[in-house]
Amino acid sequence: MTAPTNTFLTTAAIGNREDLTDVIYRISPTQTPVLNLASKTKATNTLHEWQTQDLASAVSNNAAVEGDVAGAGSTVPSGTAVTATVRLTNRTQILTKTAIVSGTQQAMNSAGRKDEMGYQMSLRSLEIKRDMELTMLANQGAAAGDASTARKTGALLAFLKTNTNEGTGGGDPSYTSIPTAARTDATAGNLRSFSEALLKDVIQKVWTEGGKPSIVMAGPVNKQNLSKMAGIAGQRFNVNGAKPSTIIGAADIYVSDFGNVSIIPNRFQRERDVFVLDPEYASVAYLRPFQTVELAKTGDAEKRMLVVEWGLKVNNEKAHGAVYDLNSTIQA
């Protein structure tokens, strides 16, 4: 059939308004678990410093004679040997994103946003947070930088050296104060399947050192492998309303011999790494919190830059651990 003669059709009409929904749908991942879990602190220099302290080793022969002078066996009172603090440092890193919007576009009535520049800057903020998350989980040592090289903050992998389990050829970073070198990754031929035994080993190491691990963080493949472990499947329950789920989203609980730990997936970490973390001992130190800078106007456009200067502060690396050198195979 055809329309009757002289029927006025939309194909001939002029002036019909477009049907454009006033909503913009975005699916790009924006969850940043480490950035959300870490506390915030202030840096006052591009070289951020803090101290750690170890107690003297426990002994079983700490027994004094009644009435004896301080410092048994000595006629002159003496103090207990003191363990010196360890001074740790990390560099701050500058992250920037810019937005340039023409005067015409800013004046337009755009669908899904009332202010084009404001909308673009909100996107830049989300992008920088993703960059921060990826940086914290990258295999990156601290770099001082110079007039032609950007300063970089040392990442989590550059700090962790005590409570680790790695494949053949893998090596922990060696540093005294500032972790300037990345860890050594095992070659592709030495990558391993993730197992519950590896997870238990690292959780035990962290607990033995005095840590209280509460988070296990894995990439999407090894999160699935975690869910298939025999020791986890029957010990997993919904934690809706609990603190980890309100910060990150859905989280499973693994009941270890040393306490419950939340299993959290992270899109931005390497699949070859699984982290065991105590969030109380991780901070983000801001030298310059997020701020918007209006750039010089050189024509009919507005220019703005979003900038943040920050550094990762691993308060005490013994509170954390990691299983390294894992393959990216989903186990049957």
What is the rounded average pLDDT of the residues 306-325? 97
Question: b/e per residue, 220-235, with b = 16+ CB within 10 A?
Answer: ebbbebbeebeebeee
State the pTM of this model: 0.86
- DSSP letter at 281 equals G
The closest of 90, 41, 39 to 287, measured between CA atoms, is: 41
Q: What is the mean pLDDT of residues 115-119?
A: 91
Predicted confidence at residue 82, as pLDDT, reads 76
pLDDT at 277: 97
Sequence spans of domains, the chain: 33-47+87-323
Please state, in angstroms and as integers, the Cα–Cα distance from residue 103 to each residue in 36, 100, 125, 297, following that order: 36, 10, 22, 11
Determine the Cα angle at 88 with ends 285 and 53, to 5°.
110
Is 269 within 8 Å of 33 (Cβ atoms)? no
Span 233-241, mean pLDDT? Answer: 49
Considering 119-123, 160-164, 255-259, the range whose residues carry the highest mean pLDDT is 160-164
pLDDT confidence of residue 331:
86
Percent of the chain past pLDDT 70, that is, above it, reads 87
**How many Å is the Cα radius of gyration of the chain?**
27
CA distances to 50, 61, 63, 76 from 71, in Å: 32, 14, 11, 8
Q: What's the rounded Cα separation, in Å, for the pair 243 and 111?
A: 36
What are the tokens at 137? 């989980």
For residue 288, the surrounding DSSP H or E stretch is strand 283-294
| CATH number for domain 33-47+87-323, candidates 3.30.310, 3.30.450, 3.90.1690, 1.20.1070 | 3.90.1690
Task: Report the phi/psi class of residue 254: left, alpha or beta, with left for phi > 0 and alpha for psi in -120 to 50.
Answer: beta
Which tokens belong to 186? 């095992």
Q: Could you count the other beta carbons within 10 Å of the beta carbon of residue 275?
A: 23
Q: What is the pLDDT of residues 87-113, one digit of tens each?
A: 999 999 999 999 999 999 889 888 888
Residue 188 near residue 268 (C-beta atoms within 8 A): no
Helix (H) or strand (E) holding 215: strand 215-218
Least confident of 63-67, 201-205, 218-222, 308-312: 63-67
The per-residue pLDDT for 244 is 42
Mean pLDDT of 51-56: 90
Mean pLDDT across the chain, nearest whole number? 87
Confidence of residue 222 (pLDDT cuts 50, 70, 90): very high
- In angstroms, the CA 257 to CA 200 distance is 8
Q: Dihedral of the CA atoms 224, 230, 235, 237 (nearest 10)?
A: 30
Distance CA 256, CA 279 (A): 17
DSSP tag of 189: G
Spatial separation of the C-alpha atoms in residues 174 and 202, rounded to whole Å = 19
Assess whether pLDDT exceeds 80 at residue 295: yes
